[in-house]
Structure 1
Amino acid sequence: MSSIELTTSQKDILRELINLYGQSERAVKGEDIADGVNRNPGTIRNQMQSLKALQLVEGVPGPKGGYKPTANAYEALGVQDLDEPANVPLFHNGEHVDANVQEIDLTSVHHPDLCRAEIRLHGSIKQFHDGDDVVIGPTPRSKLQIEGTVDGKDETNNVLIVSTSMMEAPASEPEH
Protein backbone atom coordinates (compact mmCIF):
# COMPACT_ATOMS: atom_id res chain seq x y z
CA MET A 1 0.00 0.00 0.00
CA SER A 2 1.34 3.42 -0.84
CA SER A 3 1.88 5.94 1.92
CA ILE A 4 -1.19 8.07 2.61
CA GLU A 5 -0.73 11.71 3.54
CA LEU A 6 -3.07 12.49 6.41
CA THR A 7 -3.82 15.85 7.98
CA THR A 8 -2.87 16.40 11.63
CA SER A 9 -6.58 16.30 12.47
CA GLN A 10 -7.05 12.97 10.67
CA LYS A 11 -3.99 11.52 12.46
CA ASP A 12 -5.31 12.69 15.85
CA ILE A 13 -8.74 11.16 15.20
CA LEU A 14 -7.30 7.92 13.85
CA ARG A 15 -4.86 7.59 16.76
CA GLU A 16 -7.67 8.21 19.28
CA LEU A 17 -9.81 5.58 17.51
CA ILE A 18 -6.95 3.05 17.63
CA ASN A 19 -6.29 3.79 21.33
CA LEU A 20 -9.97 3.49 22.30
CA TYR A 21 -10.48 0.40 20.14
CA GLY A 22 -7.37 -1.17 21.70
CA GLN A 23 -8.85 -0.67 25.18
CA SER A 24 -12.37 -1.96 24.44
CA GLU A 25 -11.88 -4.15 21.32
CA ARG A 26 -15.32 -3.11 20.12
CA ALA A 27 -16.69 -0.39 17.86
CA VAL A 28 -15.96 3.11 19.18
CA LYS A 29 -18.66 5.79 19.21
CA GLY A 30 -17.93 9.08 17.43
CA GLU A 31 -18.79 10.97 20.65
CA ASP A 32 -16.01 9.12 22.52
CA ILE A 33 -13.49 10.02 19.81
CA ALA A 34 -14.76 13.64 19.88
CA ASP A 35 -14.21 13.80 23.67
CA GLY A 36 -10.67 12.45 23.32
CA VAL A 37 -9.59 14.95 20.67
CA ASN A 38 -11.66 17.94 21.91
CA ARG A 39 -13.73 18.25 18.76
CA ASN A 40 -17.41 18.36 17.89
CA PRO A 41 -19.04 14.94 17.20
CA GLY A 42 -20.27 16.32 13.86
CA THR A 43 -16.68 17.10 12.88
CA ILE A 44 -15.72 13.53 13.76
CA ARG A 45 -18.55 12.12 11.61
CA ASN A 46 -17.41 14.25 8.66
CA GLN A 47 -13.76 13.19 9.09
CA MET A 48 -14.82 9.54 9.37
CA GLN A 49 -16.38 9.76 5.90
CA SER A 50 -13.00 10.67 4.38
CA LEU A 51 -11.19 8.08 6.53
CA LYS A 52 -13.70 5.45 5.33
CA ALA A 53 -13.04 6.48 1.71
CA LEU A 54 -9.32 5.96 2.38
CA GLN A 55 -10.17 2.50 3.81
CA LEU A 56 -8.70 3.42 7.21
CA VAL A 57 -11.89 2.94 9.23
CA GLU A 58 -15.02 0.89 8.89
CA GLY A 59 -18.42 1.88 10.18
CA VAL A 60 -20.36 -0.56 12.34
CA PRO A 61 -24.14 -0.04 12.19
CA GLY A 62 -26.58 -0.59 15.02
CA PRO A 63 -26.95 0.30 18.70
CA LYS A 64 -23.52 -1.12 19.57
CA GLY A 65 -22.12 0.48 16.43
CA GLY A 66 -19.43 3.02 15.86
CA TYR A 67 -16.08 2.86 14.12
CA LYS A 68 -13.26 0.34 13.93
CA PRO A 69 -9.75 0.92 12.58
CA THR A 70 -8.72 -1.24 9.63
CA ALA A 71 -5.29 -2.85 9.25
CA ASN A 72 -4.51 0.05 6.88
CA ALA A 73 -5.10 2.51 9.75
CA TYR A 74 -2.33 0.95 11.83
CA GLU A 75 -0.05 0.98 8.80
CA ALA A 76 -0.87 4.61 7.95
CA LEU A 77 0.17 5.69 11.46
CA GLY A 78 3.13 3.31 11.60
CA VAL A 79 1.56 1.43 14.51
CA GLN A 80 2.08 -2.28 14.60
CA ASP A 81 -1.10 -4.21 15.29
CA LEU A 82 0.37 -7.25 16.96
CA ASP A 83 -1.98 -10.01 18.08
CA GLU A 84 0.08 -10.61 21.22
CA PRO A 85 2.44 -7.66 21.63
CA ALA A 86 5.17 -8.20 24.18
CA ASN A 87 4.41 -6.12 27.21
CA VAL A 88 6.99 -3.46 28.01
CA PRO A 89 6.11 -2.05 31.44
CA LEU A 90 5.78 1.69 31.88
CA PHE A 91 5.70 3.45 35.24
CA HIS A 92 4.57 7.07 35.64
CA ASN A 93 5.51 8.74 38.94
CA GLY A 94 5.85 5.27 40.46
CA GLU A 95 2.47 3.96 39.22
CA HIS A 96 2.16 1.23 36.57
CA VAL A 97 0.49 2.62 33.43
CA ASP A 98 -1.75 0.55 31.18
CA ALA A 99 -0.14 1.53 27.89
CA ASN A 100 2.05 -0.49 25.57
CA VAL A 101 5.46 0.87 24.62
CA GLN A 102 5.66 0.57 20.81
CA GLU A 103 9.09 1.97 20.14
CA ILE A 104 12.08 3.46 21.91
CA ASP A 105 14.32 5.82 19.93
CA LEU A 106 17.48 7.06 21.58
CA THR A 107 18.35 10.54 20.39
CA SER A 108 21.37 12.69 21.24
CA VAL A 109 23.31 9.69 22.62
CA HIS A 110 26.51 11.39 21.45
CA HIS A 111 25.92 14.38 23.75
CA PRO A 112 28.21 14.16 26.83
CA ASP A 113 25.65 15.40 29.39
CA LEU A 114 22.28 14.68 27.86
CA CYS A 115 20.59 11.62 26.43
CA ARG A 116 17.02 11.74 25.27
CA ALA A 117 14.73 8.86 24.49
CA GLU A 118 11.59 9.16 22.42
CA ILE A 119 9.05 6.65 23.72
CA ARG A 120 6.15 5.93 21.37
CA LEU A 121 3.13 4.50 23.14
CA HIS A 122 0.02 2.63 22.13
CA GLY A 123 -2.35 4.31 24.58
CA SER A 124 -3.02 7.84 25.70
CA ILE A 125 -0.19 10.16 26.79
CA LYS A 126 -2.53 12.91 28.06
CA GLN A 127 -1.74 12.15 31.74
CA PHE A 128 2.01 12.77 31.25
CA HIS A 129 3.46 16.22 31.94
CA ASP A 130 6.90 17.83 31.82
CA GLY A 131 8.93 16.90 34.90
CA ASP A 132 7.08 13.62 35.56
CA ASP A 133 9.27 10.61 36.42
CA VAL A 134 9.04 7.59 34.14
CA VAL A 135 10.54 4.11 34.08
CA ILE A 136 10.33 2.17 30.83
CA GLY A 137 11.07 -1.54 30.64
CA PRO A 138 12.61 -3.93 30.97
CA THR A 139 12.21 -4.69 27.26
CA PRO A 140 11.45 -8.33 26.37
CA ARG A 141 14.66 -9.29 24.63
CA SER A 142 17.54 -7.11 25.83
CA LYS A 143 16.00 -6.37 29.26
CA LEU A 144 16.83 -2.68 28.74
CA GLN A 145 15.39 -0.41 31.41
CA ILE A 146 15.30 3.37 31.09
CA GLU A 147 14.63 5.87 33.87
CA GLY A 148 14.15 9.55 33.29
CA THR A 149 11.99 12.65 33.32
CA VAL A 150 9.40 13.72 30.77
CA ASP A 151 10.90 16.61 28.84
CA GLY A 152 8.06 17.08 26.37
CA LYS A 153 5.50 15.18 24.35
CA ASP A 154 4.21 14.92 20.82
CA GLU A 155 0.52 14.07 21.21
CA THR A 156 -0.03 13.78 17.45
CA ASN A 157 2.44 10.89 17.26
CA ASN A 158 1.90 9.56 20.83
CA VAL A 159 5.55 10.18 21.73
CA LEU A 160 6.98 11.04 25.13
CA ILE A 161 10.35 12.83 25.06
CA VAL A 162 12.31 11.63 28.07
CA SER A 163 15.55 13.04 29.43
CA THR A 164 17.20 9.83 30.63
CA SER A 165 18.91 9.63 34.00
CA MET A 166 19.72 5.92 33.82
CA MET A 167 19.76 3.18 31.21
CA GLU A 168 20.84 -0.34 31.96
CA ALA A 169 20.61 -3.82 30.60
CA PRO A 170 22.02 -6.85 32.41
CA ALA A 171 25.26 -8.24 30.96
CA SER A 172 24.31 -11.05 28.63
CA GLU A 173 25.83 -14.49 28.75
CA PRO A 174 28.27 -15.11 25.91
CA GLU A 175 26.86 -17.52 23.32
CA HIS A 176 28.74 -20.76 22.67
Structure 2
Amino acid sequence: MQLHDVHQGVHRRKLKKRVGRGIGSGHGKTSSKGHKGHSSRQGFKQNPIFEGGQMPLARRVPKRGFFNGAFKKEYILVNVGDLEAAFDAGTVVDEAALRARGLVKGYAYDGIKLLADGDLTKAFTIRVTKFSAAAAAKVTAAGGTVEAVPYTGRRLEPKAEGATQA
Protein backbone atom coordinates (compact mmCIF):
# COMPACT_ATOMS: atom_id res chain seq x y z
CA MET A 1 0.00 0.00 0.00
CA GLN A 2 1.24 3.43 -0.93
CA LEU A 3 0.34 6.71 0.72
CA HIS A 4 -1.36 8.01 -2.42
CA ASP A 5 -3.91 5.14 -2.54
CA VAL A 6 -5.01 5.17 1.10
CA HIS A 7 -8.23 7.01 0.17
CA GLN A 8 -8.93 5.21 -3.11
CA GLY A 9 -12.54 4.00 -3.22
CA VAL A 10 -13.59 5.98 -0.12
CA HIS A 11 -16.24 8.56 -0.97
CA ARG A 12 -17.11 11.36 1.41
CA ARG A 13 -20.54 11.76 -0.18
CA LYS A 14 -21.90 8.39 -1.27
CA LEU A 15 -24.52 8.75 -3.99
CA LYS A 16 -28.02 7.40 -3.44
CA LYS A 17 -28.90 4.24 -5.38
CA ARG A 18 -31.15 5.41 -8.23
CA VAL A 19 -33.44 2.52 -9.05
CA GLY A 20 -35.85 2.21 -11.97
CA ARG A 21 -33.80 4.44 -14.30
CA GLY A 22 -33.43 2.12 -17.26
CA ILE A 23 -31.62 -1.07 -18.17
CA GLY A 24 -28.23 0.63 -18.50
CA SER A 25 -28.18 1.65 -14.84
CA GLY A 26 -28.16 -1.95 -13.65
CA HIS A 27 -31.17 -1.18 -11.44
CA GLY A 28 -33.88 -0.94 -14.09
CA LYS A 29 -37.04 -2.94 -14.78
CA THR A 30 -37.79 -4.46 -11.35
CA SER A 31 -35.66 -1.89 -9.47
CA SER A 32 -33.65 -4.57 -7.62
CA LYS A 33 -36.82 -6.01 -6.04
CA GLY A 34 -37.00 -9.32 -7.92
CA HIS A 35 -40.17 -10.58 -9.60
CA LYS A 36 -43.67 -10.30 -8.13
CA GLY A 37 -44.51 -11.21 -4.53
CA HIS A 38 -45.40 -8.97 -1.60
CA SER A 39 -41.84 -7.71 -1.12
CA SER A 40 -41.85 -6.19 -4.62
CA ARG A 41 -44.98 -4.13 -3.98
CA GLN A 42 -45.09 -0.45 -3.18
CA GLY A 43 -45.28 0.40 0.54
CA PHE A 44 -44.26 -3.10 1.67
CA LYS A 45 -42.89 -3.30 5.20
CA GLN A 46 -41.53 -6.56 6.60
CA ASN A 47 -42.80 -7.48 10.06
CA PRO A 48 -39.67 -7.54 12.29
CA ILE A 49 -40.68 -10.88 13.86
CA PHE A 50 -41.59 -12.56 10.54
CA GLU A 51 -39.67 -15.82 10.18
CA GLY A 52 -40.25 -16.63 6.52
CA GLY A 53 -43.48 -18.55 7.04
CA GLN A 54 -42.05 -20.72 9.82
CA MET A 55 -44.18 -20.84 12.96
CA PRO A 56 -43.04 -17.75 14.94
CA LEU A 57 -41.19 -18.18 18.21
CA ALA A 58 -43.97 -16.44 20.16
CA ARG A 59 -46.39 -19.14 18.98
CA ARG A 60 -43.96 -22.07 19.35
CA VAL A 61 -43.30 -21.40 23.05
CA PRO A 62 -46.08 -22.50 25.42
CA LYS A 63 -47.94 -19.91 27.46
CA ARG A 64 -47.47 -19.97 31.23
CA GLY A 65 -48.58 -17.86 34.15
CA PHE A 66 -51.00 -14.99 34.48
CA PHE A 67 -50.62 -11.23 34.48
CA ASN A 68 -53.52 -8.80 34.70
CA GLY A 69 -52.07 -5.41 33.83
CA ALA A 70 -55.38 -3.67 34.53
CA PHE A 71 -54.67 -3.88 38.27
CA LYS A 72 -50.96 -3.03 38.14
CA LYS A 73 -50.00 -0.05 40.31
CA GLU A 74 -47.64 2.56 38.88
CA TYR A 75 -45.97 5.11 41.15
CA ILE A 76 -44.03 8.32 40.52
CA LEU A 77 -40.64 7.84 42.16
CA VAL A 78 -39.11 10.67 44.19
CA ASN A 79 -35.73 10.35 45.94
CA VAL A 80 -34.76 11.99 49.24
CA GLY A 81 -31.84 13.65 47.42
CA ASP A 82 -34.35 15.47 45.18
CA LEU A 83 -36.17 16.79 48.27
CA GLU A 84 -32.87 17.99 49.76
CA ALA A 85 -32.20 20.09 46.65
CA ALA A 86 -35.76 21.39 46.09
CA PHE A 87 -37.09 22.29 49.56
CA ASP A 88 -36.06 24.30 52.63
CA ALA A 89 -35.86 22.72 56.09
CA GLY A 90 -39.14 22.37 57.97
CA THR A 91 -41.28 22.26 54.81
CA VAL A 92 -44.35 20.04 54.56
CA VAL A 93 -43.72 17.97 51.44
CA ASP A 94 -46.94 16.64 49.91
CA GLU A 95 -48.33 16.15 46.40
CA ALA A 96 -49.13 19.86 45.94
CA ALA A 97 -45.63 20.92 47.00
CA LEU A 98 -44.00 18.32 44.72
CA ARG A 99 -46.13 19.51 41.78
CA ALA A 100 -45.24 23.15 42.47
CA ARG A 101 -41.50 22.29 42.34
CA GLY A 102 -41.91 20.19 39.16
CA LEU A 103 -40.91 16.87 40.77
CA VAL A 104 -44.33 15.35 39.97
CA LYS A 105 -46.10 15.89 36.65
CA GLY A 106 -49.22 14.39 35.08
CA TYR A 107 -51.92 12.16 36.52
CA ALA A 108 -51.32 8.78 34.83
CA TYR A 109 -50.15 6.94 37.95
CA ASP A 110 -51.48 5.58 41.25
CA GLY A 111 -49.43 7.52 43.77
CA ILE A 112 -46.06 8.89 44.81
CA LYS A 113 -43.33 6.68 46.32
CA LEU A 114 -40.33 8.01 48.25
CA LEU A 115 -37.01 6.21 47.70
CA ALA A 116 -33.70 6.52 49.57
CA ASP A 117 -31.28 7.61 46.81
CA GLY A 118 -29.23 10.64 47.90
CA ASP A 119 -28.38 12.25 51.21
CA LEU A 120 -30.77 14.12 53.51
CA THR A 121 -29.71 16.67 56.12
CA LYS A 122 -32.89 18.79 56.43
CA ALA A 123 -35.95 17.87 58.50
CA PHE A 124 -39.17 17.54 56.49
CA THR A 125 -42.72 16.42 57.14
CA ILE A 126 -43.35 14.16 54.15
CA ARG A 127 -46.81 12.95 53.11
CA VAL A 128 -46.68 10.44 50.24
CA THR A 129 -48.57 7.32 49.18
CA LYS A 130 -45.70 4.88 49.81
CA PHE A 131 -42.09 4.97 50.97
CA SER A 132 -39.24 2.50 51.31
CA ALA A 133 -37.92 1.52 54.75
CA ALA A 134 -34.50 3.00 53.90
CA ALA A 135 -36.08 6.32 52.87
CA ALA A 136 -38.09 6.46 56.11
CA ALA A 137 -34.92 5.76 58.10
CA LYS A 138 -33.07 8.63 56.35
CA VAL A 139 -35.93 11.07 56.98
CA THR A 140 -36.25 10.19 60.67
CA ALA A 141 -32.45 10.30 61.11
CA ALA A 142 -32.52 13.87 59.76
CA GLY A 143 -35.25 14.79 62.29
CA GLY A 144 -38.27 14.62 59.98
CA THR A 145 -41.40 12.50 59.78
CA VAL A 146 -42.99 10.37 57.04
CA GLU A 147 -46.72 9.74 56.74
CA ALA A 148 -48.52 7.41 54.33
CA VAL A 149 -51.55 9.16 52.82
CA PRO A 150 -53.97 7.90 50.15
CA TYR A 151 -53.35 9.29 46.67
CA THR A 152 -55.75 12.13 45.82
CA GLY A 153 -55.01 12.56 42.10
CA ARG A 154 -57.11 10.93 39.44
CA ARG A 155 -55.80 8.18 37.21
CA LEU A 156 -56.46 8.86 33.52
CA GLU A 157 -58.18 5.91 31.90
CA PRO A 158 -58.40 5.46 28.12
CA LYS A 159 -61.86 6.23 26.71
CA ALA A 160 -63.98 3.20 25.91
CA GLU A 161 -65.07 2.93 22.30
CA GLY A 162 -68.68 3.94 21.73
CA ALA A 163 -68.95 5.67 25.11
CA THR A 164 -71.20 8.71 25.14
CA GLN A 165 -70.64 11.94 27.04
CA ALA A 166 -73.40 12.76 29.56
TM tier relative to shorter chain:
under 0.3
TM-score by length of 2: 0.20
Query: Comparing both structures, which one devotes a greater share of its residues to strand?
Result: 1
TM-score by length of 1: 0.20
Larger radius of gyration: 2
